[in-house]
Structure formats: C-alpha cells, structure tokens
Homo-oligomer: A and B are copies of this chain.
Amino acid sequence: MTEVEAKKPQESLQERLAQVVELLQRHRLVEDLTHRQEGHHQDRVENLVHRQNLVELQRKLDELHSADIAHILEALPLEDRLTVWQLVKADRDGDILLEVSDAVRETLLADMDDHEILAAAREMDADELADLAQELPRDVVHELMESLDAQQRERVRSALSYGEDQVGALMDFEMVTIREDVSLEVVLRYLRRLKELPGHTDKLFVVDYDGVLAGVLPVKRLLVNDPDKQVAEVMANDPVSFHPDEDAYDAAQAFERYDLISAPVVDRNGKLIGRLTIDEMVDLIREESEAEVLNMAGLREEEDIFASVWKSVRNRWAWLAINLVTAFVASRVIGLFEGSIEKLVALAALMPIVAGIGGNSGNQTITMIVRAMALDQMGTGNTRRLVRKELGVSLINGLVWGGVIGLVAWLLYGSWSLGVVMTAAMTLNLLLAALMGVLIPMTLVRLGRDPALGSSVMITAVTDSGGFFIFLGLASLFLT
C-alpha cells in the first residue's frame, strides 16, 4: 500500500475523537426520533437532518489520516464503530484494517461482505496480505491468491510459512536493489526512473547477479558523495542483517540499539529476500510491552475495551480459575490451624497482613526480574547474586515493617509474644516472596514459557499459603 503523507493533525487525538463522538450522538438522536415515528408519516425535515449529520461525519472522517480513523474505531463501542466504518471511503478500508488491533479488525471484517474484503485486499502488499490472511474466510483467501501474479503469490506463501514471532512474518518485499559496479550517478538516474521509492527507504541494497547481498548503500552516502564514485567504494560492507527464522523481538531490539530504519533479511546463502522496517519494529515493541502488562495480570490476550461481556469473561476466566484453586489451597492451610484460631481469634485478624505484604513485596521482585529478562539482562550465572540481593532487601523490609506491625499488634492485643511472632512471620514470608519472585520467572523461562505469564497470580498464591502457614504455624508453636 502506498504511503500517505500525514497531514497536520494539530488537534489532539482526544479532540478528534470527541468531535466524532459528538456527531455520532447527534446522528443517533435523530435516528431514534425517526424510528419512533415508524408507521407514521415520515418527517422529511428529520430525514434531511439525519442525512446532513452523516454527511458532516463523513466529511470529518475524510479529513483524517487512516491511522487516526483506526484509533477512533478502537475507542468506539461496536454500534458506533460500524456506523463510522460504513462511512469510510472504500479505498481506505485496506489501510485501516491493517492499522487496527486484531480484536477490532475481527469486528470490522464481520461487517464486510466477501466482495468488499477482496476490494480492500487487492490494494495490499504481499506482507500485508499475509498479516490479514489468517483472519479472512477460507474462500476469500483462495480467490485472493488466484488474483495475484506468481511472484506475489510466492511472497504471500513465504510470509505465511513463518510464525507470527519470526522475522519472516514481518518482512516486506518493497526494496530498491542495485549493483556494486555502477557509479552513483547511474544509481541516481535509476531512482528517478522509479518515480516512487518504498516507504522507509534509508538505504539501497547492493546485490550481486545471484541476488546475494554484498552491502548496503545508505541514501545519506549516496547524497553526499561524488556521483562519479562507484557504489562499491561508498557502500557499507557489513550491514546488520537478519534471517527470516530469527526471533522478531530480537530484531526489534537490534533496531532500537543500532538506531536502524531498515535492514535486509537474507536467507542461509546470503541471498536478499526481504526487508525489515522500523515501523513494524515499533509496533512490535509496543505489543510486547503490552503483552507483558496483560500477562502479569493474567489476561490472556489483548481485549478490545468494548468487547462483549461474554468475550471478556472468556479472556479472563482461565487465571481466575487458577486463582480460585490457589485461594482454596490457602484456605485449607488456614483450616489446618482452626484449633489455634478458636483459642486466639486475633490470629484471624492479623494473618491477612502477613500474606498481603508478602504478596506486594513478591510482586515488586517479580516485576523487576521479568523486566530484566525482557531486556536480556539475565542469565550467565548472575542468578545467585540476584537472589542474594532480593533476600537482603526483604530482610531489611521484614525487620523494619514487621517490627512496626509487631509493635502495633503488641499494643493492640497486649501480648508481646504475639508481636514477636508477627515480626518473625512477616520477615520469613518476605524472604519467601523474594526467593520465589526470582525463581518463578526463571523456572517459567526454563520451561520455555513467557516469564510474565500469570506471574502475579503465582507469586500471590505462594505468599498467601506460605504466609498463613508461617504465621499460624509459629503462633501454634509458641502462643497456644
């Protein structure tokens, strides 16, 4: 899809969203009135107002960049979203479909017939088609593939053959290749003949006659060097390049580290097969961070904020169920000590403090560790050192805060031994939280899982059951 230059979005996103929402509200108001009069004589004036509102809304939408329309669609409840979607000019459907989140895209596609989908898809590049293909009805994909030329079809197939998290699935095929034995003057003339360059062209790819990458010619060098020089003299020989089966997130981190804008993708033989660009990498960085936040809270996937109640329930039930089991285990731990609680009911009131602070502290540790892992700072034998540090932090926190709360317990219940048990239990539970806060994400990674996945639920499970057991156990031994 050709790039559209963004035009002066001097109003903020919020303002633009507010304007569209206002127009939609007016529209709905009139529609409600019209509906109420059904069967009666339809009022022409109202009909006119109705149409005028829609025209105004359409004009507003036409002014907006596709990315902004995508944003507005995300922020609207389903009904309004579809009203806006129907008003958007058909030739922008493709652009917008590529911009919205998966959850919203699904609702938009459900509203389109095969014919409309095909029309939107026909404008897309091979890599964009591949992105979309998984979500399209089978026969639409089939028809689409038929309509492509052999090279395009091959590209779509190739992109589809890689996993979502591999470089191959994110690369595009729009790039300018040149030979190394020509002068910059020739390159400049060649570019002029192209009429248009692909988006994010900050370098040209230098290949030999077999298509093997020999280097890259940064546009900057093309511009500042003498046109009589040969490409080979000016090009960079050892560019950062990627393989299609590499992890896409690693590539994104490399883009970030080396401030890249585009980079070549080569196969095992060094043959140039595609290109990665910073825009895809930025999206990936954003998505990864979001996934981390969501995973820690035990949300399975991105959830459109206006998803139906039923969809949300499905998204969230899994971790709630796990939490139910862990909460039940904690409850059974308490059950073991019912005798002690009957004798000293203060234990029931104090035990959630021990568990709660442990949970909070454990969550702090696990958040730190998950973050360090995401940034590739973990591994190579620094585990023990980390555990030691976290244990140190917990020991201090346990003695200080456990001391405070032990004192309060003493004053409140008039038993210094209860206070001591409280302080000891807090300290031990914080140490447990620190240990597990390091070990849970490390174990998840060793099992090949995402370290953030439900880590918050798991650490809380440990600090709850552990906290109850430690506190009630100590109390049973020394107090009752």
Contacts and interface: CB of A to CB of B under 8 A. Distances in A.
A298 interface: yes
Contacts of A404: 324
A389 B310 CA distance: 10
Contacts of A281: 282
A146 interface: no
Contacts of A17: 376, 379-380
Contact of A356 (B195, B317, B323, B386): B323
Interface in A342-372: 342, 345-353, 355-357, 359-361, 363-364, 367-372
B320 A349 contact: no
B261 A299 contact: no
B367 A294 contact: yes
Contact of A363 (B75, B222, B297, B345): B297
Contacts of A342: 342, 345
Given A294-B371, A342-B342, 8 more contacts: A192-B224, A289-B293, A293-B296, A319-B360, A320-B361, A334-B352, A338-B349, A348-B351
Nearest to A290: B371
Interface in A202-246: 202, 218-220, 222-226, 236, 238-241
Interface string A172-213: 000000000000000010011011110111100000000000
Contact of A352 (B355, B363, B381): B355
B258 A364 contact: no
A332 B350 CA distance: 9
Interface residues of A, number: 143
Contacts of A26: none
Nearest to A329: B353
Contacts of A40: none
Contacts of A269: none
8 contacts: A14-B376, A261-B278, A293-B367, A307-B389, A312-B389, A338-B348, A352-B468, A356-B464
Given A309-B393, A328-B408, A345-B338, A219 B224 contact: no
Contacts of A258: 6, 9, 65, 67
A461 B380 CA distance: 38
B320 A223 contact: no
Contact of A220 (B197, B380, B396, B408): B197
Contact of A239 (B5, B255, B290, B361): B5
- Count the copies: 2
Contact of A197 (B223, B385, B408): B223
Contacts of A102: none
A341 B331 contact: no
B352 A464 contact: yes
A461 to B, nearest CB: 9
A114 interface: no
Nearest to A347: B348
Nearest to A335: B349
A106 to B, nearest CB: 17
A83 to B, nearest CB: 15
A401 interface: yes
A277 B389 CA distance: 38
